Each structure stands twice: as structure tokens, then as C-alpha cells.
Structure 1
């Protein structure tokens, strides 16, 4: 019998990436009449994949990637900012990511998964220093073995390439057929994991992260509460000490 495996994306999956972004926006620019912080953040996410792929291909240095992403996002909202302002904003945003934390609900879910003996992993696109800093800040090694935390820059391949999911399954010691991946980006997370034979849970925060998927996710959730209910459902009713904190019937959405 194969062991159940569950792996997660980091950004906008294990924690809400919009929180430090909104704070950085306020600290750097103050009130922005007529500009929606939510739409600006969504535009930032849409430009991440494009700039990250250019950076991986050697077309952009890391600072240029960050600046280009912010300049493009602000331009979509009718705002013109300078290169210096974009870089300053990115520095504040990056520093605030050193203060991120898991919600009590997410911590309880990870406790239950560990208590149930599930094999846990992380698959994240991004620069090694940035992503491992988030791992430390969030305290993820309390639940995830370091070798089961797979960061794209470390391994030389990025989502949605199925090879990064193959690596994760190997490190977690699980079979893809009994493994689930939870992520917010439809193309990177859903398409990539499904291509590797995993089942998928799309954490759709309604932000349009990345490109649309070509495959349907097995399940779709829109909040941490729904995610907790779905994942605990995979384990059965008596899955751990926090099992009483469930969502109402019907929280699971077929994608």
C-alpha cells in the first residue's frame, strides 16, 4: 500500500502573499486614490511567470526581474513609477516577507497531516535565497523534511515542468498516484503536477495567478477553511487532534 503524499506551493498557498504586498504599498506610496491594491497585486502575480522565465533564461538579472515586474504591474493600473521607486518598493516588500507567518488554521492542518503520518513536501518556483528565507520564517521544517522542500533554482528545473514533481515524489518517498499537490497557480501547479501523475487541489484565491491551466484540477477551493476541510477529508474523519475544525458539507468544489 502506497503512503499518502501531500505537497504544497509556498507563496499564496501556505500563506497569503497579498498581506506583505499591501503593507509595502502603503509604506512606500501611501494612499493611492483610484488604484485598487487587490488589482495591483493581481497584476504583479500575472507578470511573475513571464519575468521569472526570462531571468531563468539569463535575459534578466534578479533586480531587473523584480523591477520589471513592478513597473509592468503599476503601468497596468495607470501608474508611472521610476526604476528607483520600483526597486525600493521591491526591497520593502522582500523585507516584509521576513515577517510572514502561518495562520493558526494552517498550522493546525499541518499538525494533523503530520499526526496522520502523511508524507509532506514543498515544490516552489523562485530564487533559492528568497524561498529558503520564507521556509525559515514560516518554520516549515517543523513539518517538512528539508530534503522534501524542492526549490526550482536549487534543482535547475521549474514548474510546470513535470520533472520537479518527479523529484519531489522521489524525495518524499511517495508514488505519484497517491500524491496530491496544492497550489494557487493553475498552469504551474495544476498542469505541472497532473502531468507527473499527481492529483491536484487548486487553491483559487480569485487573483488570476499565472496563465490558465490546460487541465482541470481534481478539486478547487477558495479559502484556507475550504482547503482544511478538503485535505482532512483525504485522511478520514479521525485524522488528528484538530479534526473537529472542519468546513461545512459542500465546501469541496469539483474543478
Structure 2
């Protein structure tokens, strides 16, 4: 069994640095549901990811855009300067991200079982590698088994992103499980490439009407641990 993880909101909880940035910059000025604000922000981030991937906009410009659009969904207009301030605060708190105790225990157990572990994530190489370093993932996963979309030239859900990972790491897609939190990018992309897919539905999204079904759905690290334990020990 081979396992490839997504990074953001899979190996760590994206809401933690996001909530700290909201508290720091907006200081309770607005009535906000922070988790739903995060969901909206990620939706707008996904909508402009092709421009970011192509280098047409910067990471900070993309971050400022998505928080402006997400706040607008709540009826609040914030300036570009305020949005940029939020983005800088968000990036600051991303430097403080940590692996949860539950995820740490899962990775320890998978390593003990001799399961192949890799990471395939969308984003800018330098930015994603910084998160990987902050999380200390090299304790469990060798650097050669971590790929960022910018460096390989394909971003999820493109099937070639998944196939490139499998080819580089000499994995058979049919023996490989991809775990991620975004249905279209992670589940549909992996399934189209011939991998198995586990949907890490941390935000409890309604499952989409898709011809590509996840092989399993979990909502937190503990459920993922139980699922993988049952799969490996049956």
C-alpha cells in the first residue's frame, strides 16, 4: 500500500492560522463565521489558481483577492490595503503551523508499518516547501517524495500531476491511495488517474454529484487513523 497526502487542510488544519489572522486584523469588527469565511476564501482562491500557477499574479495578490471576495459574501467591503494586511498576517501565522498529535501518531504508525508516504500539493514551490519545513514532515517523508505543482508543471486535478508522482516514485496507481480535502482536485483527479482516493472532508462539505466516487470519506484525523488501520490489518 502506498499513500500520497495532500498538504493544506489535510496534513494540518488550515483554519488555525486563518482564524488567528482574522482575529489579529479584523479585531471583532465584523460578525463572521470564521470556518465558513475560510471555505469561501478557498473557493475564490481556487478560481484564480490558474493565474497564480501561470505567474500572472503574486501569492499575496491572490490572497488579498480571495479575502476581499469572501468578506463581500458577508456584505463587508474591505480595502485592498486591508486585504493585503490580512494576507501578510495569514502568511505570518502559517509559519507557526504544526502537526496535530493525532496526525503525528498516524504518521508514526504508518512509518512503523513500512507504508510508502509521499506528498503532492498544488501551489508555489517555495511557499509550499516552507510549510513542509514548518510542519517537520521530513521526519516521516523523504524530500524526494514531496512534489509541488509548480515544479512539475501540472496542477491537480490534471491526471498528469498524479501520474508524474507515481512515475517518479515508481508506484503503481492501482496500489496507491491519495488523501486530500478538495473533492474535484483530490478525489476526481486521483480517480481519473487510476489511484484510489480518500476524501478528507474536514469542513463537512456536502458530497458533490460526481461520476468519480471517493473510496472512503473521513472527517478528522482519528477517523482516518481507524480507516487505514482497518485497511492495513484486515
- Relative to the length of structure 1, the TM-score reads 0.87
**Contact 1:8–1:14 (8 Å) recurs in 2:** yes
After TM superposition, the structure 1 = structure 2 runs for residues 1-255 of structure 1, keeping only pairs within 5 Å, are 4-206=1-203, 208=205, 214-236=211-233
Flag the 1:172–1:32 CA change in 2: closer, same or farther, 3 A. Answer: farther
Q: Secondary structure of the equivalent of 1:180?
A: strand
The answer to which of 21-30 and 161-170 deviates more is: 161-170
User: Which structure 1 segments of 5+ residues have no match?
Assistant: 238-255
Q: CA deviation at 1:38?
A: 1.6
CA RMSD of aligned residues (A): 1.7
Q: Secondary structure of the equivalent of 2:95?
A: helix
Moved over 3 A (4+): 211-214
Q: Secondary structure of the equivalent of 2:7?
A: coil
Q: Secondary structure of the equivalent of 1:99?
A: coil
Q: Distance in 2 between matches of 1:93 and 1:40?
A: 13
Q: CA deviation at 1:48?
A: 1.5
Q: How many residues align?
A: 233
- Structure 2 residue aligned with 1:249: none
Flag the 1:121–1:52 CA change in 2: closer, same or farther, 3 A. Answer: same
Q: Secondary structure of the equivalent of 1:154?
A: helix
Q: CA deviation at 1:71?
A: 1.0
- Structure 2 residue aligned with 1:243: none
Q: Distance in 1 between matches of 2:69 and 2:15?
A: 17
Q: Secondary structure of the equivalent of 2:98?
A: coil
Flag the 1:81–1:208 CA change in 2: closer, same or farther, 3 A. Answer: farther
Q: Secondary structure of the equivalent of 2:24?
A: helix
- Relative to the length of structure 2, the TM-score reads 0.94
The answer to which of 105-114 and 179-188 deviates more is: 105-114
**Contact 2:183–2:199 (8 Å) recurs in 1:** yes
